[in-house]
Chains A and B, each alone.
Chain A
Amino acid sequence: MHKVVKKEIISETIKLLEVEAPLIAAKARAGQFFILRLNERGERIPLTIADQDQEAGTITTIFQEVGRTTRELGKLEPGDYIADLVGPLGVPSEIEKYGRVVCVGGGIGIAPIHPIVRDLKKAGNEVITIIGARTKDLLFWEEKLAALSDRLIVCTDDGSYGQKGFVTEMVGEVAAEGKIDRLWAIGPLPMMRAMAATTKPLGIKTIVSMNPIMVDGTGMCGACRVSVGNETKFACVDGPEFDAHLVDFDLAMRRLQYYREEERIAAEAGNCGCGGGCGCHR
């Protein structure tokens, strides 16, 4: 059992939770994630470790409420408990001194980009961070990332805050100013795909973090398969970070869609307050 110690409501559907998990907090490195199961009947879902506090023994996650489990998670308050947390999972980001690096967080991807920015800076890189979202309300951690980065660019699709435009456009501008030695891009699949298309002709080595459906997170089930350079990889143990120019994004998008109908049923069963127990949602 893991106690929730802090909650922040970032927007209507984006929440932050800080949770007690001292062992994970001591071990986690940039790029890693954990899997939680809320309760006995819950699904196992993966979330990125967005921050960690070794002294307090806590980890922080920021998530978007998209379905049954993330919505229930969003209802937790400080003092509530999460039944199971397992991590840190996945291969940590390859942190080295590359030179001039760019870290891009799109939408909810702003959270997982944070530890990568933090550690790349520590490793002595010049770090340019770009964060973007559809609109102003969906942005967060601007100050935190500004403090860690050599330069922070903020943009919104609708121009309600920062520069108007997509993160890909901002990358184009930064690339025009000078060589980019490596780039990380984390966000929704369409954004990561667009980024791959932007950086490929520019010859910028680009890393994305894949978010397939997972079950165990230890390489046992193969639910998380992604195709990278025509080879099948398990995102939970071989990733989640891969070379953006080798990833088959179309396949990844189709694989995320497979349970749409079941996700709707699960969400409805959650809404009626019966927790699914009334049996009317078959």
Chain B
Amino acid sequence: MSQVRSKTKHAMPVQDPKKRITNFSEVALGYDEKLARAEAERCLNCKNPQCVKGCPVEVPIPEFISMVKQGDYLGSLKKIKTKNNLPAVCGRVCPQENQCEKYCILGKKGDPVAIGRLERFVADYELKHGSDDATMTKAAPTGKRVAVIGSGPAGLTAAGDLAKMGYSVTIFEALHVPGGVLMYGIPEFRLPKDVVQKEIDKIKELGVEIKTNFVVGKLATVDELLAEGYDAVFIGTGAGLPYFMNVPGENLNGIYSANEFLTRTNLMKAYDFPNYITPIKVGERVAVIGAGNVAMDAARTALRLGAKESYIVYRRTEKEMPARREEIENAKEEGVQFILLTSPIEFHGNEEGVVTGMTCIKYELGEPDASGRRRPVPIKGSEYEMAVDTVVLALGQGPNPLVPKTTPDLEITEKGTIRVAEETGATSKPGVYAGGDIVTGAATVILAMGAGKKAARAIDEYLRSK
């Protein structure tokens, strides 16, 4: 190759910040063919590719990128799909900077290869142009049935893999739409719902049946599913339980959990009210408490719903923020303001019970805690008032207790997550496997998928030996 290799990634075209806060369309527009091929050319096609070690599902990165170089996009996608059923999703929301791209050799002396953007490009290429050859192949039917509970990335992946291995798979999903957080949580402007839907349709094409509006633990328990003739069960019910702060005034109107705020907007499409009938109310001054991905999503959503000021209020400093760097930058570009080393201790409302303000206290950073992050310590006497008319609590989510509570012999940790064998996802109950956020607590899409894959393999082994 004669060209000089650029030290920086090819930038991805994005919607202008001023314009994008007026709509819910996707912010990052994706590479076109030219940009994709140019970026692919940066890859060294390493003999011993470090990048693959950073990917929880071991996508054959150099191979798929080589095929992009050659313009064989569908072949490239087929390569990715040997390991990853949801590339259009992962290419968009994987924290690549901590995973594949973190290990890319080019990262030592410049930007790593934009692996995520390339993955997204080939996946979108297929979604746009369609593919004539089936990118997913199926084994002969085994005659055995597997029940998958929850249709988030963990459940979808387990279901897709098991279907490919010849199992007859049924997914049971509590909501009216499959997809889990991909559908109800992550906003349209970061992960368009039709992209997720197309990925789900592909899994359906493998013969997976999806029963929506089916709450396991209510309509049927895990034991009842096993008694009904399912040979194995995979639990992927996620971490959907929102945490509150337990401070005075928290139940005032206008104080939402991030889950409610995002579900009303994404799943119920309240941004298109009254064409869609579910309402959402956003005032002029919105405070989002917390600084993870969920908080960034909420703060950016608030702007799009008409907030004049959207604040992130966080107890620590920018350095400790758990959100992806890229999301913090996007939020800043759009005008989200950051109030750091601060947290509310009480909310106040008017006669109608609507929040009008909060008492905040200032913090300073003290000694590092168990997680290695410096512990925030409240500063005595630093209380002050802040006027707000909408508050979104993005303090994290716990495991959904419905299935654990109704499955007596399932071993649960003190955090409420399901205890599994690390390598297989096997629970304490024979034939029952679990993975994703219900096992790890709130984590990432790709880790949930990795867990779904592992469990699918283990379920296959279990059922073969039975």
Contacts and interface: CB of A to CB of B under 8 A. Distances in A.
Contacts of B400: 218-220
Interface string A76-93: 000000011111110000
Nearest to A34: B213
A255 B94 CA distance: 38
A84 B257 contact: no
A43 B402 contact: no
Interface string A31-62: 00000010001111000000000000000000
B251 A227 contact: yes
Interface string B227-256: 000000000000011101010001101101
A218 B213 CA distance: 11
Interface string A206-231: 00000000011011111101010000
A262 B279 CA distance: 6
A122 interface: no
B260 A277 contact: no
A129 interface: no
Contacts of A84: 176, 212-213
B324 interface: no
A243 interface: no
A219 B240 contact: yes
B213 A219 contact: no
B176 A222 contact: no
Contact of A269 (B214, B274, B278, B354): B274
A269 B273 CA distance: 10
B408 interface: no
Nearest to A263: B279
The interface centre, meaning the residue of A27, A254, A279 with most chain B CB atoms within 10 A of its CB, is A254
Nearest to B349: A254
Interface string B390-415: 00000000001110000000000000
Interface in A109-133: none
Contact of A41 (B176, B259, B275): B275
B384 interface: no
A138 to B, nearest CB: 26
B274 A266 contact: yes
A258 B354 contact: yes
A267 to B, nearest CB: 9
Contact of B241 (A42, A219, A259): A219
A271 B352 CA distance: 28
B147 to A, nearest CB: 15
A262 B281 contact: yes
Given A44-B268, A89-B218, A254 B174 contact: no
A84 B174 CA distance: 11
A215 B353 contact: no
A215 B218 contact: no
A68 B268 CA distance: 15
Contact of B277 (A87, A222, A225, A276): A276
Given A86-B174, A259-B279, A216 B352 contact: no
Interface in B202-241: 212-215, 218-220, 240-241
A220 B273 contact: no
A251 B251 contact: yes
B175 interface: yes
Contacts of A269: 274-275
A24 interface: yes
B251 A232 contact: yes
8 contacts: A41-B276, A43-B268, A43-B278, A215-B260, A219-B240, A222-B257, A222-B260, A269-B275
Given A255-B253, A257-B253, 7 more contacts: A68-B277, A216-B174, A216-B175, A218-B400, A220-B263, A222-B260, A282-B274
Interface of A: 23-24, 27, 37, 41-44, 68-69, 83-89, 215-216, 218-223, 225, 227, 232, 237, 251, 254-255, 257-259, 262-263, 265-266, 269-270, 276-277, 279, 281-282
